[in-house]
């Protein structure tokens, strides 16, 4: 009770410092350049009058949730891993298209010129496990600051991890406290971003929906979760930094979340595919495993995370990771997730060897539905003596390319077999013999029509073929 009273007093103290004078007396706002949009409002650049020092300005509607955001952000601010909050104004602001000015809260914050974390990683050459450790330490440090004040951030994701500048050693800082809340035992609202959501938050959503339908809960009292949801999110972020794609994702890329994805999160069902993880340290896998524990009581807390052996920067590996190439190409990331999902499905079948089928042969309800919607069936046969339909040829051509990509991204446990890879590549080339983009890509990788004349990195081949698939899909959609 005393802790809750203390928190309320701090909130009141922060809100008492709201400035009611016009912000334009102190800052010049650039309304022509929007920097982004947070949970509760957009962000613009601004300069301090007299000094021309640059800041970011976030504008929120003046309501209780906005005042809570500035209160919690202010309490966590002034930490080296958290975006600094400098000034807060309560002004009437009229946006274009509005008939009258409306009460709004204006937050003057530290300007982060370096962009989002994953955008930076995707552009880095030679990104290593040691560099991933450096970023992970800063992310964990920001959450340690929040948790030391008993605050759950609840929206830890790459879009809220920003770099101060474009320098090589720029610090990464946590931003956007729009979903943050004091962990007083009443966290029940299912705020989340799908890829990074903890099982307990999904359970809160499930129970909330059941109650909305009038289903009586089986356990007394409301279901609540705690700030350990942030620890789960750190585990997901570290996983992506190391391999390039998330441990949990929907089967269809266009969907944000699916029932099957929820089941996998709730069961903690993921793995470490060999192609991306075989060069990654056992310490990294151990840490991810301990962060992605479904039971929050078994999950590491923030202090244990900071003390884990992998978080010691001087001990991390300098082996180059494939994650930047996969992050850079969203089509390749979707391909990696598709292949990974197929393997997880196969692993659930007892005593079954994992075999990745070509898409056209897969007995998959999603694929069948797509086939029906485009007036074709996977069971159709070409009538003897008649030319094969062009759309079928295009589908087969892309399928053969995807088979190669799938093998590159997720080869068998023993690693990539060069001879088998060349067989797949020959077949794909035969089905795409008129594609000049493919010819150019293969020439750059020293392919002679039957084999690669020099060692080829599977990730580079997958990325090159992914670009070909992307171009062919685009061409097909415009015809």
Q: Give residues with Cβ within 8 angstroms of 442, minimum separation 6.
A: 425, 429, 464
Q: Measured between alpha carbons, how far is residue 421 from residues 7, 302, 458 in Å?
A: 61, 44, 9
> Could you give the CA distance from residue 36 to residue 18 in angstroms, rounded to a whole number?
23
Residue 71 contacts residue 62 (beta carbons within 8 Å):
no
Residue 336 contacts residue 326 (beta carbons within 8 Å):
yes
Alpha carbon 428 to chain centroid distance? 31
Residue 107 contacts residue 74 (beta carbons within 8 Å):
no
Select from 236, 103, 210 the least CA-distant residue to 157. Answer: 236
Two tokens, residue 369? 């539905």
Residue 48 contacts residue 63 (beta carbons within 8 Å):
no
Two tokens, residue 205? 């959503």
Length of the chain in terms of residues written: 479
Q: Measured between alpha carbons, how far is residue 323 from residues 132, 246, 338, 419, 460 in Å?
A: 10, 11, 16, 25, 11
Which of 26, 62, 87, 155 is an active site residue? 155
Known catalytic membership, residue 155: yes
Alpha carbon 251 to chain centroid distance? 15
Residue 325 contacts residue 332 (beta carbons within 8 Å):
yes
Cβ neighbour number for residue 450 with a 10 Å cutoff: 11
Residue position matching structure tokens 């992307």: 470
Cβ neighbour number for residue 240 with a 10 Å cutoff: 23
Q: Give residues with Cβ within 8 angstroms of 322, minimum separation 6.
A: 243, 244, 275, 276, 459
Active site residues: 155
């Amino acid at each position: 009770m005393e802790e809750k009273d203390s928190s309320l007093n701090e909130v009141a103290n922060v809100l008492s410092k709201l400035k009611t004078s016009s912000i334009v007396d102190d800052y010049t706002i650039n309304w022509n350049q929007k920097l982004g949009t947070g949970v509760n409002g957009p962000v613009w650049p601004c300069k301090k009058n007299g000094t021309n020092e640059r800041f970011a300005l976030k504008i929120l509607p003046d309501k209780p949730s906005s005042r809570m955001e500035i209160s919690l952000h202010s309490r966590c601010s002034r930490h080296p891993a958290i975006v600094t909050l400098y000034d807060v104004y309560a002004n009437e602001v009229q946006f274009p298209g509005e008939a009258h000015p409306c009460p709004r809260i204006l937050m003057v914050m530290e300007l982060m010129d370096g962009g989002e974390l994953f955008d930076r990683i995707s552009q880095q050459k030679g990104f290593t496990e040691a560099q991933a450790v450096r970023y992970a330490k800063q992310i964990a440090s920001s959450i340690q600051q929040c948790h030391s004040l008993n605050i759950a951030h609840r929206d830890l994701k790459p879009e809220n991890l920003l770099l101060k500048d474009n320098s090589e050693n720029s610090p990464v800082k946590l931003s956007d406290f729009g979903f943050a809340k004091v962990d007083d035992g009443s966290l029940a609202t299912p705020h989340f971003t799908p890829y990074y959501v903890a099982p307990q938050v999904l359970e809160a959503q499930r129970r909330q929906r059941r109650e909305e339908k009038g289903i009586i809960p089986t356990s007394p009292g409301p279901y609540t979760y705690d700030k350990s949801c942030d620890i789960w999110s750190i585990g997901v972020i570290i996983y992506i930094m190391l391999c390039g794609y998330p441990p949990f994702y929907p089967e269809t890329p266009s969907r944000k979340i699916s029932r099957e994805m929820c089941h996998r999160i709730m069961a903690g069902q993921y793995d470490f595919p060999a192609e991306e993880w075989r060069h990654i340290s056992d310490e990294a896998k151990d840490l991810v495993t301990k962060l992605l524990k479904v039971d929050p009581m078994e999950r590491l807390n923030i202090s244990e995370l900071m003390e884990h052996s992998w978080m010691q920067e001087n001990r991390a590996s300098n082996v180059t990771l494939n994650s930047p190439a996969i992050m850079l190409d969203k089509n390749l990331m979707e391909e990696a997730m598709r292949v990974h999902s197929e393997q997880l499905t196969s692993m659930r079948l007892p005593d079954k060897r994992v075999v990745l089928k070509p898409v056209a042969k897969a007995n998959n309800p999603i694929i069948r539905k797509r086939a029906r919607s485009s007036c074709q069936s996977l069971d159709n046969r070409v009538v003897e003596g008649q030319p094969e339909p062009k759309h079928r040829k295009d589908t087969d051509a892309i399928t053969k390319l995807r088979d190669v990509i799938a093998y590159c991204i997720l080869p068998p446990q023993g690693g990539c077999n060069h001879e088998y890879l060349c067989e797949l590549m020959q077949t794909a080339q035969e089905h795409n013999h008129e594609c000049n983009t493919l010819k150019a890509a293969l020439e750059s990788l020293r392919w002679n029509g039957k084999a690669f004349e020099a060692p080829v990195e599977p990730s580079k081949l997958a990325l090159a073929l992914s670009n070909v698939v992307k171009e062919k899909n685009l061409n097909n959609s415009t015809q």
